[in-house]
Amino acid sequence: MVHLLQILINGLASGAVYALFALGYTLVFSVLGVINFAHGAVFTIGGYLTYLLIGGAVGANGLLAGLQLPLALPFWLALGLAGAGSALVSLVVEAVAFRPLRKRQAEPLLSLISSLGAGVVLVNLVQLLMGAESYSIPSSTLAGLPAALNLGGAQIRTVQLLLLLVATLLLVLLTLWLEGSRGGKALQAVSEDPVTARLLGIDSGAMIRLAFAVSGFLAGVAGGLVGLSVSIAGPYFGIGYGLKGLGVLVLGGLGSVPGAVLGGLIVGLAEALVPSDFSGYKDGVAFAILFLVLLLRPRGLLGKPLASKV
């Protein structure tokens, strides 16, 4: 008999990861009005980078077969560095798949396709280098922490609690940054009205790069956390999360930060409530909720109404 608290924590933990994922989409969408389809690949890379940085060895199938970094960083340091590396990858995606099209004032739909292409290339690159096998990040890298806690009779995996804590911390920091800092406000100004932002002296190109870097960092950290709590199930493991993240994004309302968080938690909890005998139908449940919400509220739960043209 699974304890309700356990289900709740598990649901919130995976929901928090979905929220991190969807926030990355949201940041880029809010400044460009386009979904970055390479986001799932950046998440994947974050997972692999974390694995390598804790000193994990590459399997026998990739070009890097047998490689093992001569360092075994503590998980938290590895996770932060993997986030930074993912931010760089995200900046490269912007420079290659988005900026050239933007300079030519191409249709936004075209950069959606070019980002999809960039994502496929990145995933294939990972496969080429690391092989197709799955890797797991042992929880022994969290030195000193017990594997599970007993909370009121429920066995809660420590990893799930950590996932929830880290994701919550990042969400709070991101919100504080967006609402309180000069850069965050400038980013919101670009998202609301790029021309007016330029007339105020805000460099919209720099703000777009900032959005990509932050979204890449969030994706990379999410990848590392999932690698720890579940596993890195091969180069394509980001794609499923990518689709789920898109669903969460639409469920919460395109471009809404609190919407992305709320959407993530709802999907995570709904999945956790699916009995384990039917766990194969988790995705079906998640997308059925999305479908129902969109029937009732086409702009998502917290989607903003169109800017008033007073």
Sites of contact with another protein (CB under 8 A): 182, 185-186, 188-189, 192-193, 195-204, 304, 307-308, 310
Residue 68 or 181: the one with the smaller Cβ distance to another protein is: 181
Q: How far is CA 199 from CA 173, 180, 186, 194, 196, in A?
A: 29, 21, 12, 9, 5
**Which residues is 157 bridged to in the sheet?**
148
Residue 144 or 201: the one with the smaller Cβ distance to another protein is: 201
Contact between residue 48 and residue 233 where contact means Cβ atoms under 8 Å apart: no
> What six digits make up the tokens of 202?
């805000």
Nearest-approach distance from CB 204 to another protein, in angstroms? 8
- Centroid of chain to Cα 290: 18
Contact between residue 69 and residue 55 where contact means Cβ atoms under 8 Å apart: yes
Q: How far apart are the first and last CA of the chain?
A: 58
CA angle 162, 168, 169 (to 5 degrees): 90
Residue 60 or 310: the one with the smaller Cβ distance to another protein is: 310
Q: Give the integer Cα–Cα distance in Å for 235 and 237.
A: 6
Residue 247 or 300: the one with the smaller Cβ distance to another protein is: 300
Residue 137 or 202: the one with the smaller Cβ distance to another protein is: 202
- Centroid of chain to Cα 226: 10
Nearest-approach distance from CB 137 to another protein, in angstroms? 40
Q: Give the integer Cα–Cα distance in Å for 3 and 16.
A: 20
Residue 192 or 283: the one with the smaller Cβ distance to another protein is: 192
Nearest-approach distance from CB 211 to another protein, in angstroms? 17
Contact between residue 98 and residue 111 where contact means Cβ atoms under 8 Å apart: yes
Residue 150 or 309: the one with the smaller Cβ distance to another protein is: 309
Nearest-approach distance from CB 309 to another protein, in angstroms? 8
Nearest-approach distance from CB 188 to another protein, in angstroms? 7
CA angle 265, 220, 51 (to 5 degrees): 115
Nearest-approach distance from CB 300 to another protein, in angstroms? 16
DSSP 8-class letter at 302: S
Closest by CA position to 209, among listed 196, 226, 190: 190
Nearest-approach distance from CB 33 to another protein, in angstroms? 15
